[in-house]
Chain A
Amino acid sequence: MDNLDAARLQMAITLIFHIVFACIGMVMPFFMVVSHKKWLNTKNPIYKTLTKSWQKGVAIFFVTGAVSGTALSFELGLLWPEFMKHAGPIIGMPFSLEGAAFFVEAIALGFYLYGWDKLPEKFHWFTGVIVGISGVASGILVVSANGWMNAPSGFDYINGEFLNIDPIKALLNPAWFTQALHMTLAAFTATGFAVAGIHAYQIIKKRNVELHKKAFKIAITFGAIAAILQPLSGDLSAKDIAKRQPAKLAAMEAHYETKKGAPLYIGGIVDEEKREVNYKIEIPNALSFLAFGDFDAEVKGLNDFPKDEQPKVATVHYAFQVMVGIGSLLMLAGIIFFISFKKKKWTNKKVYWLFFTLLAPMGFIALEAGWIVTEVGRQPWIIHNIMKTKDAVTPMPGIVYSFYMYVLVYLTLTIAVSWLMARQIKALNETEY
């Protein structure tokens, strides 16, 4: 493995893990405060037990998210020093604001976790709300920095130098909104379905059913609403990418030949040697419509991009299919959940709970797939059309060893966190009222 591949893989692995921790740490506080509010309103002790149990989850995930985020903030420089040297001053704004938001979150979490029976009830609850809001703000700001890599703006690039830097324009780069919206909804979908799935499983096992049903309902409501809204945000993203990063769009769709009225491929096996897609389902003119809102629009194919400016088509295409496929499934599941409000007898069936149990990991798989689309799809650029990833990597050899170390550490962390969660649930089921 050469140094560049090792550095990319290390970055990928750290991000893949961090995203899971961060999303849960960012979304779960919302579940927690809803349950907390219900406790305050109804004084039903089940809600208090649930809130306290979720709060432990929030604390554990917040910290794993925070430490893996600290590691990431260093890794940006450790792995991509040339990138940070030039990009740092331009995209400092989202990062420094993110630092501030994260700080607010940590302070609010300190109040929340340790404030039971010490702080005035309403203030205590409100600190939980701040945890959630500042968490989402952090997420949006970090995604905005990523958006800048896709849509660099706020500077003039003259003779290899970055001049006339405008940090605010860089923060509000053309990609920030679509990406942040898509990611925020994805975080809610993924966490909502994951948490709901875990509680659904407990319901199947008939453990503490009343509590788990309440927990399920709170989590799935967030997840379902986000999942139903997500396709709209996806459409905005696709149209945006079609304009700004046509090579990425072409790779997502495995679209090789420039064509007017381009068809949309669903599934299929990409043959990167022969540059064609086999065994696909073809929907005529659909790609042109989805990308430009016009059935006859011309969509530029990969063959019209220089060879060294094309991302890895198969990876991006498959990841995109996975994301869209699961996204559609979750939207459907969201609709099923809302219908089950009317058709109460559905919820008496084991298959209903089994369905949601099986969906537990799906949101996160889709979310990771989506990030693979946007990150691998951006290659070979680290700053789109300005700096290539290979020119940004650290001169230090032997990154592969550091990569192995990170894999080991994060795998262990993931196993440890999952084990801790399982123990939390076990303890929760042993709670008596």
Chain B
Amino acid sequence: MIYVVLFFLGFSLLLYVLLAGADFGAGIVELFSSKENQEITKKTVYRVMGPVWEANHIWIIILIVILWVGFPAYYNILVVHLHIPLTIMLLGVTLRGVAFVFRHYDAYKDKSQVLYDNMFKFSSLVTPIFLGTIFGAMVSGNIMLSEQASFKLVFIDSWLNVFSILVGLFFASLCAFLSATLLIGEAEKGNEKIYIKKSGIAVISVVLIGFITIAYGYFNNIKFVMDFVKNPYAIIAMAISALLLIPLWFSIKNGRRIKSRAFAGMQVVLILFAAIVTHFPYVIIANSKAISILDNTAPESTITNLGVTLIIGALVILPGLFHLLKSFKMIKILEQ
């Protein structure tokens, strides 16, 4: 049953990265758009994300609940040592969520829109940066397992370091890439060009920041990176992900929006896979040792119960979610 639970953990992580990632990306794309394009993006984003964005963000709640119920010891390390970036990320999630709703549900569309827009755009950038930073911190080898050292060493240096922040920036550009690619297919006629350009810029930043991150880790002897570049699965996944850029380019050019989305999604899945597979199940690499998510899991009865709950929950939720996505034409496959 532990594998069922692990499956759902991975599944929620994947969907969170893809769906919420595209969602964060929308704000980032908007942030880096000219004034005129911002308005277009705002409208398109609302049309596309409006009905589903809240559901997109619930995956992190599912994720966190699975972690604390099934893997309490592992979760404990995260919440104690990464308290500060987690809090900042939460602040970002909060501001972003309310800004998104405020700007569409405020009864009067006046000057206050500027405030909501800015709140939305900046928190859309900050939140994924911190999400990425949290992952970076988990594998950077900077988490001090002893709490006896100074405050700075234990609670700040664990995440406020170049490598973790590079990972954060990498994730944010990945989000922008996902979103820009998604928006190409959703834009009204004539506006596709905006997003094709954005998608291109995002690809360049993903590749560039990714390269810098790995190079930095390699030259600074960060264990995760050293193992990453030697892990055949990770290398293969990264290579395929890079190669997929070619069919992605062609499908965008030919206006195949479903295909282009599938390729972009696959690329992100492969990157995520590469990041996890290198060290799984040791997904925390602290200063003194690596910690396995499978150590000190919850007792058998809890895991069984959690697994069953998740299966039943999935049976109820997934069809509903699918129907929602379908109804609002997020999934166009069925209509083609």
Contact = CB atoms under 8 A, between A and B. Distances in A.
Contacts of A167: 301-302, 305-306
For B78, B79, B100, B151, the residue with the greatest tally of chain A CB atoms inside 10 Å of its CB is B79
A88 B75 contact: yes
B241 to A, nearest CB: 30
A397 interface: yes
A419 to B, nearest CB: 9
Contacts of A60: 101-102, 105
Nearest to B55: A106
Interface string B42-69: 0000000011101101101110111011
B313 interface: yes
B86 A92 contact: no
Secondary structure dominating the interface of B: helix
Contact of B79 (A81, A95, A109, A409): A81
Interface string A387-413: 000000011111000100100010001
B321 interface: yes
Given A60-B102, A409-B94, A78 B147 contact: no
B50 A114 contact: yes
A103 interface: yes
Contact of B61 (A73, A82, A108): A73
A285 interface: no
A85 interface: yes
A423 interface: yes
A66 B328 CA distance: 22
Contacts of A62: 54
A99 B306 CA distance: 12
Contact of B107 (A85, A166, A423): A423
Contacts of B54: 62-63, 66, 106, 109-110
Contacts of B65: 73, 92, 95-96, 99
A133 to B, nearest CB: 13
B76 A73 contact: no
Contact of B62 (A84, A85, A103, A428): A103
Contacts of B312: 100
A167 B300 CA distance: 11
B77 to A, nearest CB: 9
A336 interface: no
A78 B317 contact: no
A418 to B, nearest CB: 12
A369 to B, nearest CB: 26
Nearest to B110: A423
A93 interface: yes
Given A74-B90, A81-B76, A93 B151 contact: no
B83 interface: yes
Contacts of A108: 320
Secondary structure dominating the interface of A: helix
A218 interface: no
Interface in A65-106: 66-71, 73-78, 81-82, 84-86, 88-90, 92-93, 95-97, 99-100, 102-104, 106
B76 to A, nearest CB: 5
Contacts of B272: none
Interface string B139-167: 00000000100010011000000000000
Nearest to B90: A71
Nearest to B298: A89
Contacts of B97: 63-64, 66-67, 70
Contacts of B57: 66, 70
Contacts of A113: 50-51
Contacts of B64: 73-74, 77
Given A71-B93, A88-B69, A166-B301, A110 B52 contact: yes
A420 B94 contact: no
A93 B58 contact: no
Given A70-B93, A74-B86, A93 B55 contact: no
A401 to B, nearest CB: 10
A405 B107 contact: no
B73 A100 contact: no
A385 interface: no
Contacts of B334: none
A426 interface: yes
Nearest to A82: B76
Interface in B83-98: 83, 86-87, 90-91, 93-95, 97-98
A299 to B, nearest CB: 38
A89 B70 contact: yes
B3 interface: no
Nearest to B107: A427
B98 A413 contact: yes
* Ranked 10 nearest A-B pairs via Cβ: A92-B69, A89-B298, A427-B107, A100-B313, A77-B79, A67-B97, A88-B68, A110-B51, A89-B302, A114-B51
Interface of B: 50-52, 54-55, 57-58, 60-62, 64-66, 68-70, 72-73, 75-76, 78-80, 83, 86-87, 90-91, 93-95, 97-98, 100-102, 105-108, 147, 151, 154-155, 298-299, 301-302, 305-306, 309-310, 312-313, 316-317, 320-321, 324, 327-328
Given A100-B309, A107-B55, 20 more contacts: A62-B54, A70-B60, A70-B61, A77-B64, A77-B78, A82-B76, A84-B75, A88-B68, A89-B302, A92-B306, A100-B313, A103-B55, A103-B313, A115-B327, A164-B301, A165-B298, A165-B301, A396-B155, A397-B151, A409-B95
26 contacts: A59-B105, A60-B102, A67-B94, A73-B64, A88-B75, A92-B298, A93-B306, A95-B68, A96-B69, A99-B61, A99-B65, A107-B321, A109-B54, A110-B54, A110-B55, A111-B327, A114-B51, A119-B327, A163-B299, A395-B80, A398-B151, A405-B91, A409-B91, A409-B95, A426-B107, A427-B107
